[in-house]
Amino acid sequence: MKVAVLLGGMSSEREVSLVSGAACAKALRNIGYDVTEIDVTHGLWEQLLAANPDVIFNALHGDWGEDGRVQGVLDMYGKPYTHSGVMASALAMDKHRAKHVLKAIGITVADGGLFRRLDVAKSHPIAMPYVVKPNGQGSSKSVYIVKEDDAAQSAAIKADKDMGEEVVVEAYIPGRELTVAVRDGKAICVTEIIAAESDTGWYDYEAKYGEAAAKHQCPADLPDYVTALCLNWAEKAHNALGCRGISRADFRFNDENCTESNVVNKIVMLEVNTQPGMTPTSLVPEQAAYVGVDFEQLCRWMVEDASWPR
């Protein structure tokens, strides 16, 4: 079977995608697939025609690669592909609108809204502390935690055009960083990300992809009722957004005075990622390994799960 692995691309997450794609391509070759790596350009249609694959493995990250646009090209191409389709990809990537869906199905999300970046740089749109982040990117790039009046930080937000003209501003949620991978609609387990002392104290870009920047505790040491709620919410979010294949839901958990009766107010879902990283330090391969699925088996399953349309 001929598999085309889409990697690289044109987003700010290009470098991460190159690593994810190379790792997946190597794993698929090791188990006997005929693999072509495609460093995606605006000429993707011609690149696909030249490769003539049986299946497309989408290892792109960031805008254009996981926001529904590439998925639209793949739908037109008409061959099975991995991960989510157009609607789920576009909706999950739009953090503001995705939060409305999550809230509607009973999942707790952070308070906030969508604001013009330049307005945010001028004055505080909500009470501090709060988080400012792009509405349509992943990998925690261009994310600012505003805890006090800081002229330099305001200037940085004003100058950061990569964030886009509209940004998400939401209340800063203290607590522990948790994540849950979902495969074929079924949550795997809960991992806790423990930031290194030298880190920013949260799971930013360097913590995700730098060497030894954060520790992953898999499975997380949590009360059973916390684990159960995270697993349940991750599955509900995956299904409500229309995700396919693999997704990953990220949470904040404030364990201070948490009890089974108030746990729904102590866990906040931050977002759902429809194309989680597949690098050597990524969370999904770790969770899969915990339940006995090694990296090659995971990649094989993703190819076998591919379909058209998604």
Q: Which of 240, 247, 244, 235 is nearest to 305 (CA)?
A: 244
Residue 273 annotated among the catalytic residues of the structure: yes
Active-site position among 12, 89, 140, 273: 273
Residues 209, 212, 213, 214: is their CA dihedral positive or negative?
Answer: positive
Q: Which residue has the tokens 């920047």?
A: 213
Active-site position among 244, 248, 300, 310: 248
Residue 248 annotated among the catalytic residues of the structure: yes
Q: Characterize the bridge pairing of strands 144-146 and 55-58.
A: unpaired
End-to-end CA distance of the chain: 20
Active-site position among 81, 130, 205, 209: 209
Active-site position among 277, 282, 300, 310: 277
Active-site position among 66, 204, 250, 286: 250
Active-site position among 67, 204, 271, 286: 271
Residue 8 annotated among the catalytic residues of the structure: no
CA separation (Å) from 64 to 8, 44, 68, 176, 184? 11, 12, 7, 31, 24
Q: Which residue has the tokens 């989408």?
A: 58
Active-site position among 135, 139, 140, 282: 139
Residue 250 annotated among the catalytic residues of the structure: yes
Active-site position among 13, 170, 204, 286: 13
Q: Characterize the bridge pairing of strands 2-7 and 55-58.
A: parallel
Active site residues: 13, 139, 209, 248, 250, 271, 273, 277
